[in-house]
Amino acid sequence: MIKIQKRFIAAVIFIFVFLYACISLYPLLWVVLQSFKTEKEFLSSIWTFPSSLGIKNYVIALTKGNLALYYKNTVFNTLATVALELVLVTLAGFAFSKMKMKFKKVFFYLILINMLIPTPIILLPMYLQILNLNIQNTIWAIIFPYFQGFAPLGLILIKNYMDNIPNEIIEAAKIDGCNTLRILAGIIVPLIKPMLVTLAILGGMSAWNEYLWALVSISNTKKYTLSVGLAVLRDKTSSIGYTPVFAALTISAMLFVILYLVAQKSFVRSITAGAVKG
């Protein structure tokens, strides 16, 4: 009787998870299907399957929609942002987790307060600041605000992960003559690789999909990011049609879907390990 109940519960959970997965994947799959349709097929019915799997819409999106340029800008901005985030968050996480200093908790909570501040409230001060620094329409106007927005979450995750690393390892390294930089680079970083992968995915997704600040800080159309470019492309439906817009959305979404599928084991392992001790 107990085995039957366990099997029934397992079956119910499986059905629930399967339905949830279908509901979650449906919008993405629907967009992908529309991207292969001709304009006539899309206007006739949004529920039918495409008659063929041509790449015409993708070519139009990349050329007439300037998506190739927006894609290049976004890749460059995202890589620069992720590199900065990984370096600075790792240094801060090591300091808060393993080093002794006065008012450590005070500084830690001051950083976390940033998570409580809605972006629209600081949008104008940040914009005025980049004007005063004369860095509008540059990569610096993008990556530093992106880092500031992601830093509190990244610090929480990496600090909790480092808290699970025994202090005895660091003490042994110090006895062997290792300085702080060598301990960090040679011991800590190899141990936190799963969390670094997770931070790269989370920070990269945040920078890749960010729209509001990119729209405010960049006025040069040749330096638009992908999120802003998609909005511009959407306004060109009268000239290029709707289906190339779906192709552009597919291109934008698929990169991080593939990255997550490749790195999902590291992602899950780092999240669960970091949640053990806070």
- Please, are residues 35 and 57 in contact by the beta-carbon 8 Å criterion? yes
Domains of the chain, first to last: 54-274 (1.10.3720.10)
pLDDT tens digits along 16-63: 989 998 898 888 899 999 999 988 899 888 888 888 888 889 988 888
Section 73-85 average pLDDT: 91
The Cα–Cα gap between 256 and 74 comes to 13
What is the tens place of the pLDDT at every residue in 62-76?
Answer: 888 888 899 899 999
Which pLDDT belongs to residue 263? 67
**CB–CB of 52/62 below 8 Å?**
no
Q: For 147-198, how does the pLDDT look when each residue is reduced to its tens digit (9 = 90+)?
A: 888 888 889 889 988 988 888 888 888 888 888 888 888 889 998 988 898 8
Band (pLDDT 50/70/90 cuts) for residue 278 is: very low
Q: How confident is the model at residue 135 (pLDDT cuts 50, 70, 90)?
A: confident
- Measured at the CA of 52, the angle between CA 67 and CA 230, to 5 degrees, comes to 20
The chain-wide mean pLDDT, for the chain, equals 85
Amino acid at 25: L
Cα(193)–Cα(39) distance, rounded to whole angstroms?
Answer: 46
pLDDT number for residue 19: 92
Q: Taking the model in full, what pTM does it have?
A: 0.80
pLDDT confidence tier of residue 216, bands split at 50, 70 and 90 = confident
